Structure 1
Amino acid sequence: MLTNLAIRDYAVVDALEVDLASGMTCITGETGAGKSIMLDALGLCVGDRADSRAVRPGASRTDISASFDLSQNARALTWLAERDLASSEDCILRRTISAEGRSRAYINGTPATLADCAQLGQLLVDIHSQHAHQSLLRRAVQRTLLDAYAGAEKLMTSVNETAQRWRVLREEYTRLADRTEEFDARKELLTYQVAELASLNPLTGEITALEVQHKQLTNAAFIIENADHIATGCEAQRDQLAQLVQRANDDRMASTATDNLRELLQSALIQLDEAHAETARFAATVELDPEGLDATEQRLSALYDLARKHRVQPDALATLHDSLQSELETMSGGTEQLAEIKSALEDTALEWRSHATKLSSLRRKAAAKLGQRVMDTLGQLAMSKCQFDVALIPFKTDEPDPRGAEDIEFLIATNPGASPG
């Protein structure tokens, strides 16, 4: 219901605001009083076209807004909700036109196209004037009237909802089907890459360990020789150091002044023995292993080559393997998902067909009854020569349609001998 119309700088109007209550409101006045200006202004809010001549002379722009109470208009509320334009149970349509001819439209404060305003306007108002088509001439209105006459509103809702659900499924199926080639190519690549990485089986921290091992194996001969020299040197130095300890421990050297000296020499002897033992232990762990060196070099080379191929650091190969494996497992359900959607499409189409068939049956019965009632009424108006018919026009496609399996058109012939149209 229209509750408020505010007009500023439109045609000859400086400023005008009208509040409307429920029920019937009559606005009267002599020719030129501005009644049609109000209707034209309302028409601009619901999508009519305009140019700069609509702006009051001397003003920079026209600003018109129309407020509606939608508490009893479920169709309009649904339309707004589907486009994220809902604002409680109120709706404000606003239109601005600049003196340069630029036009802007808003629905609840959000910029909108004229097409959107016109579509919403059809759910809000009927403007009957010498320059406007009546809503009764629109097939959508005729279809709504026939369905209401047939008591098929709930069935029509089921048809609409099922068709909308089918369209959503079809879009999803098409989207997935279009990606099939790309999907299969990616899956094939992932399968190859995962298998390649799995065959090498890179481990976290492996590169660092291999590099240490490679360094040790490469320098094994030098390490063994050098360790032998160190051990020999320790043995030679031990004899001399032992003699020094013996001299320091001579009773004739006993004195508080020489206590620190004896401790240092004894400590040096102990550390030299420990160094000799440690050298022997270390040398025992090092072996000349040409085969082990070759295997280590091959492993390192394979890891570095694969890392270059995937453009990652060698120590990131293990993480890459896990990542690609996870992606492959996720993609494995793509074909199954496509089959599931196709099955859902078929089931939804069958459900729609069941609802649509019942709706068509109700429409045919209601069309015959409504046509006869209109003809009886025309006879009472002394227009018995008129012909009126409610035509059911099947759609050319079998795809689920929110309107059902057919469209509705009211046909009338007011001249004898003429075909209804």
Structure 2
Amino acid sequence: MAKIGFVSLGCPKALVDSEQILSRLKALGYETSATYEEAELVVVNTCGFITPAVEESLEAIGEALRENGKVVVTGCLGARPEVIRERYPNVLEVTGPGEVERVLQAVQEVLPAPRNPLLDLIPPQVKLTPRHYAYLKLSEGCDHRCSFCIIPKLRGGLRSRDAGEVLAEAARLVATGTRELLLIAQDLSAYGVDIGHRESFWGDHLVRAELTDLLSHMAELGAWIRLHYVYPYPHIRNLLPLMAEGKVLPYLDVPLQHASERILRRMRRPGGYQSHLKTLKAWREVVPELAIRSSFIVGFPGETEEDFQILLDFLQEAELDRVGVFTYSPVEGAEANALSGHVPEEVKEERKARLMEVQAEISLRKNQSFVGKTLEVLVDELPEPGLAVGRSYRDSPGIDGLVYVETDGTARVGERIPVRITRADTYDLYGVQV
């Protein structure tokens, strides 16, 4: 049986692409190998968004070539084949993101497919996440033109999936043990705009390709539903009643990027200090327990100490639950590269440290407010008898905190259990199963 090695880099959206490629390879009869030595060919799914990610991808390609010698490259960096070919001219093929058919063709040219005659019996998708949670992609590409970003160049414009197709995949995942669906897209809030929010069938139901309608039907499956990468648009308010009713987790991942209106204009991003605060206040009035994650860029070209102080003041007032911070990194092909006022690296790092120090105090205070309360926790692992590690509604896997639970021994991975919180630190909670 032909064996394929696979390296997957980048964001959850790239992970979904990897799952699709592996599913198709499995359908053609290929097996996967966990080692370079046993693999007859290696596929590397790359990230090309920021400079460190590009370098990580190039290093992964180089390692695969050294250890195996036969490499097919795909993913976001594959949209810039000259970057890859310049350093590694011997790769077998370079394809862009979402080009599954070209990846399959490149693999089959070197390793003919062991054609499986029972294709219909093969599960529709290989999962790279634990069985109990899965990333579900609603759309591909993006129509925004943020000055620091080249995603539209790498992945193209917005291309939404029909609601019926999304719901069918969600139902399959839940039927095979998925207990949490993490909905992703470059901009989840734009879902369906490109296809006029058209209707499609899911069973006997006509469902619009519009987030509120989609989520109303998805909630019937009984899994946790978590929303990632949402722009702070007015229509997001329409989702809040679903959260208040317990149909969707009260959690929003909203990449605000900055709070200085001047810097946001240079970024070509919406909002500013006051408009951000007004939006957050309106959301919390409907869903008081809403957990909000956001990400910010410090050291963007032209950012002054005054701009940065505006961001720090905003964080103090906004009291976000979770925050990620990145120092600005030039991306080849991004318009921001031509902006004046580039910030020295040491200043970027100093500002990042100051921001995280401010946010750490806020995060600790927010976490401590849950001591004495009972939260539902999804169990991710059981590292030892009497101990479970899981997540509450406030915690997305891999990027947020964890909940460490003293159990009575009955907890199982993928199960949701009630936990009384007994203490908290900056990022994690600790409690007892009740």
TM-score by shorter chain over 0.5? no
* TM-score of the aligned structures, taking structure 2 as reference length: 0.24
More strand per residue: 2
TM-score with structure 1 setting the length: 0.24
- Please tell me whether Structure 1 or Structure 2 has the larger radius of gyration of its CA atoms: 1
Q: Which has the higher contact order (CA 8 A, sep 6+)?
A: 1
